[in-house]
Structure 1
Amino acid sequence: METSHPLGTLQPLELITPEGLDAPGCVTYPAALLAGDVTHHAGIRVTTPARTAFDCAHWLPRAEAVVVLDQFLRRGVDLGPLWHRTLSGRARDVLTLADRRAASPRESLLRMMLADCGLPRPAPQLRVTLPGGRHACLDLGWEAYKVAVEYDGREHHTTPADRRHDESRREELRGLGWRIVVAGPDVIPGRAADLLEAVANALIEGGWQPGPEGMVRILARIRATRRPRTSRRGRWYG
């Protein structure tokens, strides 16, 4: 059995199941469920959103787990109680990185990719004041260095009017001293290394000082990203 993956490819359906229960055609992870972990939806017995987030933090690849938890938070799911459960170090890392401000899965992946390169952690949906009391909301940004990454997906940035609006807004921001790096829908994985290099250069020009060890890490990550790796199920890790 297969289902659509958020990034557009087909993946096997993955299930958390009680120990000893197998689901042919699915990827299963045996786990003990507490009474409070289970609810019913349309008459079907399912795990609660919080328990589902807990399992995603443990079992999904790290970047994908952060994407999912970002969206849980954005939809109002309280993940605070998860800190009181037994968590692996990896799951704690994922919970620490999750951010309710992420507006889309692609923006979450970009945030993870930038942070994993050794760059400062960007703020999602950064609000910038413009002249006349107006505001611009940047997809990802570093206010201290006046650097932003804008993701132009296919849904909202394809018409001539969209492109004119985007460019007019960005030119105004550039006039205020901001460096804007634009990422298109092909950035993951095809142009990830180019994006990392452009953002690192912009941050350094803006005054960020990574130091010798930090620069070595950034350059190593950029080189590694030019050789994308996939898992046996086709997921990109960069």
Structure 2
Amino acid sequence: MTAPGLSPDFLHTTRTSYDTMAPAYVEFARGELAAKPLERALLSTFAELAAAGGGVLPVADVGCGTGRVTAHLHELGLGLDVFGIDLSPQMVAVAREEHPGLRFEEGSMLELGLPDASLGGLLAWYSTIHVPDEELPRTFTEFHRVLAPGAHVQLGFQVGDEALRLTEAWGLEISLDFHRRQPEKIAELLRGAGLEVRSVVWRERDADGPFPERAPQGFVLARRPIVSGGCEDGDTGTTG
């Protein structure tokens, strides 16, 4: 996969910020999943659904960062061919170093560079949080394109109505917007991209745990409809 371009502008600032944070971020995030049983359960459900679909097509962790969740899916032992994609070359380098037995590629979720209907599952775990509102429909349409019929997409994100901007992390200068969104809005946008929403989960923030949170957390599971009679489920094959 070729390196993504730097337009729209948010791609440049997101990539540059994560390139800057990569060495510090890998240490910060280490062990986070071990402290979050609900998240592990949701990831296990997603992995089981991908495996139940035959487990033949690969599963992409889009916005994989350090590869910790990619590795978790692999270590579940369900036989998934899971690989990671990230916008940041430095995050990809860290992921390859941390998990040398897995595949990681540089790429943008706006244009994944994958064939149509080529994925048996897609995970966007706290990665669409940096995508501006106006780019989300395009992003979800791209997810629909690369998913095989019946394949699932699992999203994780912070819940809220306003974005949080960070200009510093671990003493490093960055420029990142964290878009907090309501689960119902995410579900609506996924439906608008032609995906079926299967599950919406919300939980309150954990302010006192080992990884304190600023906001509640949301998780939406959807799938590309199964083709039946030449049409996707819910499509009558007519216009108007």
TM-score normalized by structure 1?
0.27
TM-score normalized by structure 2?
0.27
* Higher RCO, 1 vs 2 (CA within 8 Å, ≥6 residues apart): 2
Q: Select the structure of larger CA radius of gyration.
A: 1
